[in-house]
Structure 1
Amino acid sequence: MTLWTADSLRAATGGTLPGEAAVTGVSIDTRSLAPGDLFVALRDARDGHDFVAEALAKGAAAAMVDRNPPGVAAEAPLLRVADTLEGLRALGAAGRARCAGRIAAVTGSVGKTGTKEMLRLLLGALGPTHAAVASYNNHWGVPLTLARMPADSAFAVIEIGMNNPGEILPLARLARPHAVAVTTIGEAHIGHMGSLEAVAEEKGSIAGGLVPGGIAVLPRDSEFFPRLVAIAESAGAGRIIGFGHDPAAEVRLLEAGILRDGRTRAVLSVLGRKVDITMPAMGLHHAANACCALALVEALGLDAARAAPALAAYAPGAGRGAPREIAVAGGTALLIDESYNAAPPAMRAALQTLALRPGARRIAVLGDMRELGEFSAALHAGLAPEAAKADLVFCCGPEMARLHALLPAEKRGAHAADSAALAPLVKDALRPGDVVLVKGALGSRMALVVRALTESIS
């Protein structure tokens, strides 16, 4: 189905494009580009203009550029704009403007992507739903998601993140959601923000993008709930829906537990109606995310109880806690791959979940958390009580050395300078029946440990 025509591309971006075009998708990466895509030549670690020729050779319908790309003929289908990032933003704004569907936007210190994926399922049970294929939640990810949105989408879910102050509000205004949610307030990026209060202010600013009278879904259990309410009300929110364990929460998590087969079951009260859900994902944080997601369904004016059975298909994505069996000497072990990211609240939740797992030994393999600034030492050391619930703990990186030193001697597996050095130590230590959690910030490269553990045993 045609997503953009040459005329609509020119109208959206103010750019020039010769001839006709039938664009069926939007791409910023030639590795995942499909024939018919519009390739947008962004500048990041590499200049996308250097890949325009490759994109066209792979079948791109056109390429958005702001300079002459090397190796490309003058008559090539080039959408010429003043700046490609601004051009992508303009295309995202046009994608949002032409869509009459209901839009939800999600932010929070942790749980954004999980909640977004739950909403994809919940809303998808009620109508055509658009959401990003990955954690596209930054200055290029949000406009890319909007630019890819089919005009006839009944619903869309936009994930919005930040690393520094002032990043959320412009993206929220671009998305113009009918409902917004803050999953939780925690220490993620606190090194850039300076305090939890500043994190709350930034996360709460998502309400500034609401359409008039829109609804804000906020974490009732958070100490920052009153401040988040004040921010949302000052932004013009027509209603606040609180979620969480708190008795005053309108969408309340009544009980949650882990079944013997590893699934998570939760019972909620959704605006006074009892809703029972079971998900093939282990962890009480999944129940909290489901509480937020169901509250957002109600905020969009839909029936959460009707949509709730769709969560039976929810499972975390790659690097976000999906379990898999791996071969070890003499048998198999269970790997929980949480290598994609790690903020202190998510690290604590993962360690708490590991403690609930049945197994011969529960082993935690932990890499440094990032962007914690002056709070880093205390936040790494503060993981010691949860980490000590594991039978054995392996650590890598200078910050995790602080945690490792605080553990009882019998709990210390090993500490290494980096994940590459730690990987063989963990692999040699595993025995049949073990459950091993691997978690750390993306920059800690804990995926190297996962890769080593999933290699065949010789």
Structure 2
Amino acid sequence: MTPLWTAAALRAATGGSLAAEPAISGISIDSRSVAPGDLFVALRDARDGHDFVADALARGAACAMVDRAPPGVAPDAALLRVADTLAGLTALGAAGRARFAGKLAAVTGSVGKTGTKEMLRLLLAAIGPTHAAMASYNNHWGVPLTLARMPAEAGFAVIEIGMNNPGEIAPLAALARPQVAAVTAIGEAHIGHMGGLGAIAAEKGSIVTGLVAGGIAVLPRDSAFFGQLAAQARAAGVVRIIGFGRDPAAEIRLLEAVTGPEGTRASLAVQGRQVAIAMPALGLHHAENACCALAVVAALGEDAARAAPALAGYAPGAGRGAPREIAVGGGTALLIDESYNAAPPAMRAALASLALRPGARRIAVLGDMRELGGFAMALHRDLAAEADSAADRVFCCGPEMAHLYAALPPGKRGAHAPDSAALAPIVQAALRPGDVILVKGALGSRMAVVVRALTEQDHRGAA
């Protein structure tokens, strides 16, 4: 089997020193997930990865990238020594991109990035070998890690690019150097750091600055910011822009979409043909993401209509809407786990999907949306109409969700708690068999605490 990286290639890519000659089959930044043959990269975040090098090597790592002497490691251990491990990983990602001869697409947007990336994984895999991150690796370490893990022989690659602050997308796009750059949608995510929707659109639109010569921009034709995004692409020298959406002017057009408990069906006009798709995922936003994904496939010069049936294999992942049955009071209930993240557009989409779920009661368990700055009070409070329409009872936690809770009709209020740990037992005690429970909030709201509480015990619900 051809190694992902040879020792010589590691030295050449990073400029580091390595006395051993390991053959690298994978790359890990978490010692707990190391597989035999991996290169372990000792990054610094909340904890210093150098403290886990010994554990990674004991678990079978073939080599570790370090910028200082790690504790408890033998003098003859296989260590790739670099000046800075994050810079070393970035250099390795750049080398991975440089040797890649396939077609690469990059995706950003306020919502829908990960779903669109997963749809592209399915669509492109129906055409040829495809590489994409298994998780939402879209930041300053996630993008280079995805590129460094990219097999040179893959036919396609999909890179997800995100941001929290101004100026973060363009450098990552320059590292990825896509042939196609897509923006899924513009919404209020991170608006507290950006100052307004126009600034968010400008930052998302900066993905086009990383396009290779002759690259194509895929933009949301239904967005109020389409004109701004298109002007930004033209200013960057992009000649071809493909619009997608319901707008009659869209080149890849969503003609009709229906959604219900069995999933989502849609009809689209794609490259001169009408294409029908069906996905076991509830919510009209999935049809919108599919429209973007098919536009990317077409922009890559592939037969999107022929690949479209692969979307039948798409389903939301863990923490992003995956449904599961849980035990409640001698019966069962349906848990919709959306605990990974929450921006206002995604929260509205999740509530709309909850409204379509049949059940004895529909329960919304909501944590704070983060990084909204001075817009936070209004954006939380303004969810009241959607929450009232979608749910029979609403449980909230966090200081910002208190504004939503106060805006609800008294009959819809379940409880409010300061944090997810305090809310979890209250929700447990309130559940009944037949309930459908949506759990959603920003990652920092730790709504996964509620999900674990509901899935790890048999809940004896209140009457």
TM over 0.5: yes
- Determine the C-alpha separation between the residues in 1 that align with 2:142 and 2:210: 17
In structure 1, the residue matched to 2:419 is 418
CA contact (8 A) 1:257 1:264 kept: yes
Distance 1:317 1:37 in 2: 25
Q: Which residue of 2 aligns with 1:299?
A: 299
- Which 5+ residue runs of structure 1 have no aligned equivalent? none
Shift of 1:83: 0.7
- Shift of residue 248, structure 1, vs aligned partner: 0.8
Aligned residue type for 2:409: P
The one-letter code sitting in structure 1 at the alignment partner of 2:297 is V
Deviation of 1:333 after TM superposition, in Å, equals: 1.1
Residues 422, 19 of structure 1: CA spacing in aligned structure 2 closer, same or farther, 3 A cutoff?
closer
In structure 2, the residue matched to 1:144 is 145
Asked whether the equivalents of residues 361 and 391 of structure 1 are also in contact (C-alpha less than 8 Å), the reply is yes
Task: Report the TM-score when normalising by structure 1.
Answer: 0.98
What is the CA–CA distance in structure 2 between the aligned matches of 1:131 and 1:256, rounded to whole Å? 27
Residue 429 of structure 2 corresponds to which residue in structure 1? 428
Shift of residue 238 of structure 1? 2.6
Report the CA distance between 1:311 and its aligned residue: 0.6
Q: Give runs of aligned pairs for residues 206-245 of structure 1, distance below 5 A.
A: 206-245=207-246
* Equivalent residue, structure 1, for 2:385: 385
Aligned partner letter, 1:263: G
Taking the aligned partners of 2:442 and 2:302, their CA distance within structure 1 comes to 36
How many angstroms does 1:133 deviate by?
1.1
- C-alpha contact (below 8 Å) 2:271/2:305 kept by paired residues: no
CA distance in 1, matches of 2:78, 2:456: 44
Output the amino acid matched with 2:292: C
Alpha-carbon contact 1:138-1:160 (below 8 Å) kept: yes
CA contact under 8 A between 1:177 and 1:209: conserved in structure 2? yes
* Alignment size in residue pairs: 457
Give the CA deviation at 1:293: 0.4
Of 243-252 and 148-157, more deviation after overlay is shown by 243-252
Distance 1:415 1:359 in 2: 23
1:266 aligns with: 266
Distance 2:48 2:272 in 1: 53
Residue 74 of structure 1 and its aligned partner are, at CA, apart by 2.4
**Residues 97-246 of structure 1: pairs in structure 2 closer than 5 A:** 97-246=98-247
Code of the residue aligned with 2:208 in structure 1: it is A
Task: Please name the residue that 1:323 is paired with.
Answer: 323
Residues 268, 275 of structure 1: 8 Å contact kept: yes
Aligned equivalents of 1:421 and 1:56: distance in 2? 39
Runs (5+) with no aligned partner, structure 2: none
1:342-383 alpha-carbon deviations (Å, 9 max, x no partner): 000000000011111111111111000000001100100111
Provide TM-score, normalisation by structure 2: 0.97
Q: After superposition, give the CA deviation of every residue in 1:194-234 in whole Å (9 maximum; x if it has no partner).
A: 11111000000000000011111100111100010011111
Tell me, what secondary structure is at the counterpart of 2:32? Answer: coil
Cα deviation, residue 272, structure 1: 2.8
State the partner residue of 2:354: 354
Matched AA of 1:286: H
RMSD: 1.0
DSSP-derived class of the 1:351 partner:
helix
- CA deviation profile, 1:54-110 (whole Å, cap 9, x unmatched): 111111111111111111222211111111111101100000000100000000001
Q: C-alpha distance in 1, partners of 2:188/2:278?
A: 29
Q: Is the 8 A contact 2:169 2:204 kept in 1?
A: yes
Q: Distance in 2 between matches of 1:317 and 1:126?
A: 23
| 3-state SS, counterpart of residue 327 of structure 1 | strand
Specify the code of the residue in structure 2 equivalent to 1:436: I
User: Paired residue for 2:404?
Assistant: 403
- Deviation of the 1:432 alpha carbon: 1.8
Alignment partners' CA distance in 2, 1:456 and 1:396: 21
| Alignment check: 8 A CA contact 1:381 1:402 kept | yes
CA distance in 1: counterparts of 2:20 and 2:164, whole angstroms: 41
Paired residue for 1:18? 19
The amino acid that maps onto 2:105 is: A
SS at match of 1:110: coil
What one-letter code is carried by the residue in structure 2 that aligns with 1:445?
Answer: R
- The CA deviation string for residues 243-287 of structure 1, in whole angstroms up to 9 with x for no partner, is 11111111111111124x421111111133111111011111111
**C-alpha distance after superposition, 1:138-160 (max 9, x if no partner):** 00000000000000010000000
- Distance across 2 between alignment mates of 1:242 and 1:109: 17
Q: Specify the alignment match of 2:69 in structure 1.
A: 68
Letter in 1 for 2:318: A
Residue 450 of structure 2 aligns to a residue in which SS? helix
Give the structure 2 partner of residue 35 of structure 1: 36
Q: Report the 3-state secondary structure (helix = DSSP H, G, I; strand = E; otherwise coil) of the residue aligned with 1:152.
A: coil
The answer (yes or no) to whether the contact 2:262–2:281 under 8 Å persists in 1 is yes
